[in-house]
Each structure stands twice: as structure tokens, then as C-alpha cells.
């Protein structure tokens, strides 16, 4: 056994060198053979990079709202596909009275805030600069306590007194403030938002992963006091309630808030909730389901490419067996065993496929880097496990599709093989 192990290792190294020599001698043929594997691995690496980057970004963004909070709205929250059901379309929006009911009944809630949104309120202007695609809302003072990403970088938040007295003040997102004011100090300046003037009193700190909403990854938040919003835009009725639970009390807070909402919305005990709720964990879980479905679809598509590449490897190995029939005969005549011949051609097939996988990894990584440079809002990255898995799968394809040519080569009779021209 001590003698066989070094010999086996030497034979394995020799097989690899012979396989690499074959690649060098038949560059074009090898490249065409590996095209299917390379394309499949490139697709997998590029898609994994995008999905992993997007997943990290979404998780950081969702957790920026607060990990111990729950959001209530009258329509489903988070990823939603297809048409709303009739029951969902008939739901009454969340009202301010619903918010009051939750605030007064939820003993497990540390903070409770209500936001009112304006889907048609989408532009803001300062002198000659204008920005559209806003996350425009009115909120109570506890908004800055409930939302973990509502951190004031400069200035201050509005007070509850300013809210009750309907003072026209506003807190702007960092990216929005830079777009409107450039290097000017925005504090104390008057901006025109959807035809109404507001005085800037604070600037939000930009969240690390951006924010949700029509602004994409840019921080274009425009937050004004709730009653100021209601005074200026009395026809807007789309409310959302977010509560922050005490430590370890999120399930209890959800139950208490649901009971309060059902009572406020006059639902009998036998009827389902006519509102929806979501936590950071539930939103992340829903997003992972979407990512999983996309990953499965891409895996199926890439598998077709790997199969095509595997068939190419088998064809090229059959050609190689035919071309080297005389060589096989010589090796057998001087004592090579069937297993030696099998491993010689299996190693060549695996090296061939692994080379295609490595090229695919390099191209996929280059695509990931290009996306990261040209689209900073999509911070792609290639995990190590994806590289290892891609190369391992490509090598396995070479192993599987190289078995038949290798076995065929090992079964050649030495006398017949030596006579082959």
C-alpha cells in the first residue's frame, strides 16, 4: 500500500498533464466543446451574484424599518402577484380612528405611529431644481422612534406641537436634499412640494441599503406632520400603522393590535381580518420565496446548457479515443490495466469540463463586477460557495459524460488497437 499510493498519485498527475496537453493541441475544438458548459456556469454565477446582492440589500433595507416592529395596512404588504381578490378590493382603508384604537389598546407596544400617503404627490422644487418620484407622507411625531432608519443627520424632527398646530415643516431625505440644494445649507429654506410651501427643518441620514418606494435606492423621503398633511391634502385617505413592540413582545403586540383593529373596524368574531400586517421577518421570508423561484428557474435553464456541454464532452472524447486507438494499444501491450485507461480518459474529460467551468466563473465574476460598477444600487457579489459549486458541477458533468468513452477505450483489444491506422 505504501508503494501504490505514490505511484497512483504520479499516474494521476500524468493524466492531468496529458489532458492539459490535449487542450493545448486542440484549442479551437476544445473551446467549441466547452461553450455549453461555459455559458451555463456564466449564467449561474451572474444570476447568483445578482440575487445574493439583491437579497443582502433587501434584508438590510427591511431591517432598517425595525426588527421589532409590525406594519398594518388595508391591502397586502410586501411581494404580491396577480389581481387582488374581491374582498381585498372592497376593504375600507385604515383610518386615523383605527390608529387611535391601536395606540390606546396595545399595552405591549412601546411606540405607535400612523402615516398617510399621497400616491399623486410626486414632485418637489427649490428654485430651478425639481425632483420627482418621492416617498411623500404625513406622520405623527413617533414616526422617528418607530422607524429605525428615520435618523436625523442634520437639524431636527418635528414636534407633536407642530403636528397638532398643523405647522408646514418638512424633513427631507439626504439624497433629495443634495439634489435640490447641492452644497447649500437646506435648513430653514422653503421648498415647494406639489404646490405647497414647507420649511425644511431636518435632513434624514441616508440608510445604508437605501429605502423602498418609488425612489428606488435613493433617499427621497419627504415627511411632514400628519395633521399638516391632512390640512393641505384632505382627500388623501391611504393610512398605514406601524408599532414597535417591547423586547420579546412582538407576538403579543401583533395580537393586541389585531384585536384593537377588529374592534375599531366592527368585525364580528366569525369574519376574517379585513386588513393585512407584516413584520420584517415575514417580508424577508416572502422575498426569499421569490428569490428561490427565480433561482430554480435559472438552475433549470443552466442545466440544459450543462447537458449540451456534457454531450459535447462525450463527442470530443469519442473522437479522442478514435484518434488515440494505437496509443491505447501500445499502453495495454506494455502492461496498462483497464482501470488505467479508464482513469486516463475520465481525467481528460473532467479537466476539459472543469476548464469550461473556470472560464465561466471568470466571465460571470466579470459580469458581476461590471454590474456593481455601473449600477451601484445593485451591490452584486459572488460567494465562495457558488464558485466551488460551479466548478464541482462542471467537473461532475465531465465525469458523467466521460464514462462511456473511457469504458469504450478500456475495452479495446491490444492486437486490434495496434493494427489501427
Residues 126 and 207 reside in one and the same domain: yes
What cell was used for 174?
A: 439626504
Cα(226)–Cα(157) distance, integer angstroms? 13
Domain membership flag for residue 383: yes
What was the pLDDT predicted at 415?
Answer: 55
pLDDT digits (tens, 9 = 90+) for 383-415: 888 888 888 888 888 888 878 877 777 776 665
How large a percentage of the chain has pLDDT more than 70? 82
| Last residue within a domain, chosen from 249, 274, 299 | 274
Domain membership flag for residue 402: yes
Residues 336 and 389 reside in one and the same domain: yes
List of residues 6+ apart from 343 with CB closer than 8 A: 11, 12, 15, 406
The mean per-residue pLDDT over the stretch 363-379 comes to: 82
What cell was used for 95?
A: 383610518
Residues 314 and 405 reside in one and the same domain: yes
Residues 387 and 334 reside in one and the same domain: yes
Cα(92)–Cα(79) distance, integer angstroms? 21
Residues 106 and 229 reside in one and the same domain: yes
Domain membership flag for residue 80: no
Cα(100)–Cα(98) distance, integer angstroms? 5
pLDDT digits (tens, 9 = 90+) for 232-288: 988 888 899 999 888 888 889 999 999 999 999 888 888 888 888 888 788 878 778
121 SS3 class:
coil
Range of the domain at 375: 4-61+286-419
**C-beta atoms surrounding 188 within 10 Å:** 9
pLDDT exceeds cutoff 90 at 370 = no
Residue 227 pLDDT grade (very low, low, confident, very high; cuts 50, 70, 90): very high
pLDDT exceeds cutoff 50 at 215 = no
Residues 146 and 187 reside in one and the same domain: yes
pLDDT digits (tens, 9 = 90+) for 293-304: 888 888 787 788
Lowest mean pLDDT, pick from 24-28, 102-106, 149-153, 353-357 = 24-28
Domain membership flag for residue 133: yes
**Opening angle at CA 399, ends 398 and 401, nearest 5:** 65
Residues 206 and 237 reside in one and the same domain: yes
Confidence (pTM):
0.68
Residues 158 and 14 reside in one and the same domain: no
**Domain total in the chain:** 2
Amino acid at each position: 500500500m505504501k508503494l501504490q499510493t505514490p505511484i497512483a498519485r504520479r499516474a494521476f498527475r500524468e493524466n492531468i498533464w496529458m489532458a492539459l496537453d490535449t487542450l493545448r493541441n486542440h484549442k479551437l475544438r476544445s473551446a467549441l466543446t466547452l461553450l455549453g458548459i461555459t455559458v451555463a456556469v456564466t449564467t449561474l454565477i451572474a444570476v447568483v451574484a445578482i440575487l445574493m446582492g439583491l437579497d443582502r440589500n433587501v434584508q438590510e433595507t427591511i431591517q432598517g424599518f425595525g426588527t421589532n416592529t409590525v406594519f398594518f395596512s388595508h391591502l397586502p404588504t410586501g411581494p404580491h402577484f396577480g389581481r387582488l381578490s374581491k374582498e381585498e378590493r372592497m376593504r375600507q382603508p385604515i383610518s386615523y380612528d383605527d390608529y387611535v384604537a391601536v395606540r390606546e389598546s396595545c399595552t405591549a407596544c412601546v411606540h405607535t405611529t400612523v402615516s398617510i400617503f399621497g400616491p399623486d404627490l410626486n414632485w418637489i422644487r427649490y428654485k430651478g431644481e425639481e425632483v420627482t418620484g418621492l416617498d411623500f407622507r404625513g406622520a405623527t411625531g413617533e414616526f422617528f422612534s418607530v422607524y429605525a432608519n428615520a435618523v436625523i443627520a442634520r437639524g431636527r424632527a418635528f414636534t407633536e406641537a407642530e403636528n397638532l398646530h398643523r405647522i408646514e415643516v418638512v424633513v427631507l431625505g439626504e439624497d433629495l436634499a443634495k439634489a435640490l440644494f447641492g452644497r447649500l445649507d437646506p435648513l430653514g429654506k422653503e421648498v415647494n412640494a406639489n404646490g405647497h410651501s414647507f420649511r425644511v427643518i431636518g435632513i434624514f441620514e441616508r440608510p445604508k441599503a437605501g429605502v423602498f418606494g418609488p425612489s428606488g435606492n435613493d433617499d427621497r423621503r419627504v415627511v411632514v406632520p400628519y395633521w399638516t398633511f391632512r390640512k393641505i391634502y384632505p382627500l388623501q385617505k391611504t393610512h398605514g400603522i406601524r408599532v414597535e413592540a417591547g423586547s420579546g413582545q412582538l407576538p403579543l403586540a401583533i395580537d393586541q393590535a389585531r384585536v384593537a383593529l377588529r374592534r375599531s373596524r366592527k368585525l364580528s368574531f366569525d369574519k376574517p381580518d379585513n386588513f393585512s400586517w407584516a413584520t420584517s421577518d415575514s417580508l424577508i421570508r416572502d422575498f426569499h420565496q421569490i428569490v428561490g423561484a427565480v433561482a430554480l428557474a435559472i438552475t433549470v435553464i443552466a442545466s440544459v446548457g450543462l447537458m449540451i456541454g456534457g454531450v459535447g464532452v462525450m463527442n470530443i472524447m469519442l473522437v479522442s479515443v478514435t484518434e488515440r486507438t494505437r496509443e491505447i494499444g501500445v499502453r495495454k501491450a506494455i502492461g496498462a490495466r483497464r482501470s488505467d485507461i479508464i482513469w486516463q480518459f475520465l481525467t481528460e474529460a473532467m479537466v476539459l469540463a472543469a476548464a469550461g467551468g473556470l472560464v465561466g466563473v471568470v466571465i460571470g465574476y466579470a459580469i458581476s463586477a461590471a454590474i456593481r460598477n455601473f449600477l451601484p444600487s445593485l451591490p452584486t457579489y459572488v460567494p465562495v460557495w457558488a464558485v466551488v459549486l460551479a466548478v464541482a458541477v462542471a467537473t461532475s458533468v465531465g465525469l458523467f459524460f466521460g464514462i462511456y468513452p473511457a469504458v469504450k477505450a478500456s475495452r479495446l483489444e491490444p492486437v486490434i488497437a495496434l493494427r489501427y491506422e
